Amino acid sequence: MTTETHEEALRQYIQAELPTTVAELCRLVRIPSVSWPAFDPAHVSASADAVAELLRGIGLFDLVEVRQAALDNSAAATLKPIAPATSAPSTSSAPPVDSLGAPAVVAHRAARNGRPTVLLYAHHDVQPPGNDTEWETPPFEPTLRGDRLYGRGAADDKAGIMAHIGALRAVRDILGDRLDVGIALFIEGEEEYNSRSFRTFLRENRELLAADVIIVADSVNWSTDIPALTVALRGAVAFNLRIDTLDHALHSGMFGGVVPDAMLATVRLLNTLWDAQGGVAVVGLRNAEIITPPYEEAQLRAETGLPDAVHPIGEGSFLSRIWCQPSITVTGIDAPTTAHASNTLLPHVRVRISARVAPGQDAAEAFQLIRTHLEQHAPFGASLSFEDVETGQPFLVDTGGWAVTDMRAAMTRAWGQKPVDIGIGGSIPFISELVDQFPLAQILVTGVEDADSRAHSPNESLHLGAFRRAILTEALFMTQLNERNPGD
């Protein structure tokens, strides 16, 4: 029997089971599994246990376990994000956050009859909700409004977990004993907090997670009606920059106009990072060449809320700027607030800089180029120091592999529309770790989100129609895997 033979049965099964799948997603969303250190780690543990229980209930796996790994060597030195002031500090007696990574869930079933093995990835931790007053519904009380389910993690990425589970249940029931595909799952618990033990976890569980194909369900679709396969991801560079011009603060009335303060030097220095159009002015940062689909300015403004009077920055097509070009953003600054401002020449200022790196350029190289630029443009002889440097490599999918062909076919059947190959302006830095550990595996980046999902923002939501089609896509893809002969 072929995939086409099973397609209608899979479609009907997934539709019939959708209320149950959504209800289980709601139970996961109710667990506030924020992986940042100012939040109670017991919630992340509870989330891992809940996911493990769901996986055991499928009845396919020889092993389902919650596991932790020691932090990667560099993780303890990375800058820790600061939780919102409204967050409740942790009172848990769990092990210190700097000793082990967050709990992850692994599952495994061996392949039979020479069939391929697929590794399914998602993450069960979520971003902090931020200010509750900005939410139209409680962030951890899933709320259905029309065809969208609202709640923190409803899309990113607990829907990715349930898409895997929904697809696995479907192929289990429709294929039965004919299911020979090997299946591994890795449901991470700290993706939203720098995946601090990811490298160590992969190394310690490499044999368990080894696969021919890896599906990373943590991306977006072109729309709620048109699927997308993510084929390019920008890399990331982030660091703290400290600018010093004085060894102590001075009265601005006494010495202003002759002594350069650190704030003046900072403003002048940061301004050199961009050209007059707002494009990156750092020599050596490269663009990638990727064919982009049509995307008009009206759509950009609608999706971002960009006011009519504010002009987009950069040059080239809008999607090329987002997917294929570098960008630099100042994401934080340590300086007196306006409420605490005084007539003082500041001796030093610290800023946080976040850069995105075009596919095809090494992230460490990009950091060195930015550092060199800043050092060469430091005004007034200001002293610069660089701290808490983090990098994540960009990624380009080899679209010539059979897994891409099969996934595109599955998307076309499930959605009734051919998928769009897209890039993502953001980064999934751990994909480079997957490439290092499993260099022969074909990596597919899929997802359940759309432009209105608002991942990481208030009022995050999931479109249930897109969710159902994502489940069907994965079920059809695994059915195709089940038909692959050894050596195909």
**pLDDT tens figures, 40-84:** 999 999 999 999 999 999 999 999 999 999 998 755 434 333 233
| Cα–Cα separations (whole angstroms), residue 145 to 32, 136, 150, 151, 476 | 21, 11, 7, 11, 29
Check whether residue 239 and residue 221 sit in a common domain: no
The token pair at 347 is: 């001796």
Residue 297 lies inside a defined structural domain of this protein: no
pLDDT for the residue numbered 291: 84
pLDDT for the residue numbered 429: 80
| Cα–Cα separations (whole angstroms), residue 115 to 108, 168, 410, 439 | 15, 16, 18, 19
pLDDT for the residue numbered 336: 94
What is the SS3 string spanning the chain? CCHHHHHHHHHHHHHHHHHHHHHHHHHHHCCCCECCCCCCHHHHHHHHHHHHHHHHHHCCCCEEEEECCECCCCHHHCCCCCCCCCCCCCCCCCCCCCCECCCEEEEEECCCCCCCEEEEEEECCECCCCCHHHCCCCCCCCEEECCEEECCCCCCCHHHHHHHHHHHHHHHHHHHHHCCCEEEEEEECCHHHCCCCHHHHHHHCHHHHCCCEEEEEEEECCCCCCCEEEEEECEEEEEEEEEECCCCCEEHHHHCCCCCCHHHHHHHHHHCCECCCCCECCCCCCCCCCCCCCCCHHHHHHHHCCCCCCCCCCCCCHHHHHHCCCEEEEEEEECCCHHHCCCEECCEEEEEEEEEECCCCCHHHHHHHHHHHHHHCCHHHCEEEEEEEEEECCEECCCCCHHHHHHHHHHHHHHCCCCEEEEECCCCCCHHHHHHHCCCCEEEEEEEECCCCCCCCCCCEEEHHHHHHHHHHHHHHHHHHHCCCCCC
Check whether residue 123 and residue 223 sit in a common domain: yes
Low-confidence ranges of the chain (pLDDT < 70): 1-2, 74-98, 487
Q: How many domains does the chain have?
A: 2
CA 308 – CA 315 distance, rounded (Å): 18
Residue 379 lies inside a defined structural domain of this protein: yes
Q: Determine contact, residues 49/68, Cβ cutoff 8 Å.
A: no
Tally of CB atoms within 10 A around 56: 14
pLDDT for the residue numbered 303: 87
* Domain termination residue (choose one: 392, 410, 441): 392
pLDDT for the residue numbered 90: 41
CA angle 325/328/334 to nearest 5° reads 170
**Cα–chain-centroid distance for residue 213?**
19
Check whether residue 65 and residue 212 sit in a common domain: yes
CA 251 – CA 319 distance, rounded (Å): 48
Average of per-residue pLDDT values in the chain: 93
pLDDT for the residue numbered 292: 87
Check whether residue 117 and residue 248 sit in a common domain: no
Q: What is the CATH number of the domain that holds 345?
A: 3.30.70.360
Check whether residue 224 and residue 366 sit in a common domain: no
Q: Map tokens 């569980």 to a residue.
A: 205
Check whether residue 108 and residue 45 sit in a common domain: yes
The per-residue pLDDT for range 434-486, each reduced to its tens digit, is 999 999 999 999 999 998 999 999 999 999 999 999 999 999 999 999 999 87
CA 374 – CA 430 distance, rounded (Å): 28
Residue 421 lies inside a defined structural domain of this protein: yes
CA 284 – CA 367 distance, rounded (Å): 11
* Domain termination residue (choose one: 392, 423, 441): 392
Residue 401 lies inside a defined structural domain of this protein: yes
The token pair at 208 is: 């368990």
pLDDT for the residue numbered 98: 63
Check whether residue 93 and residue 162 sit in a common domain: yes
| Cα–Cα separations (whole angstroms), residue 449 to 170, 433, 469 | 21, 23, 12
Check whether residue 22 and residue 135 sit in a common domain: yes
Beta pairing partners, 329: 354
pLDDT for the residue numbered 81: 33
CA 106 – CA 56 distance, rounded (Å): 11
Residue 488 lies inside a defined structural domain of this protein: no
Q: What is the CATH number of the domain that holds 11?
A: 3.40.630.10
Residue 425 lies inside a defined structural domain of this protein: yes
Check whether residue 215 and residue 264 sit in a common domain: no
Range of the domain at 52: 3-233+394-482
* Domain termination residue (choose one: 337, 371, 392): 392
Q: Determine contact, residues 125/189, Cβ cutoff 8 Å.
A: yes
CA 275 – CA 277 distance, rounded (Å): 5
Kindly state the percentage of the chain with pLDDT values over 90: 87
Check whether residue 159 and residue 47 sit in a common domain: yes
Check whether residue 398 and residue 453 sit in a common domain: yes
pLDDT for the residue numbered 4: 77
pLDDT for the residue numbered 252: 94
Residue 377 lies inside a defined structural domain of this protein: yes
Global confidence as pTM: 0.85
Residues near 178 by beta carbon (within 8 Å), at least 6 away in sequence:
1, 482
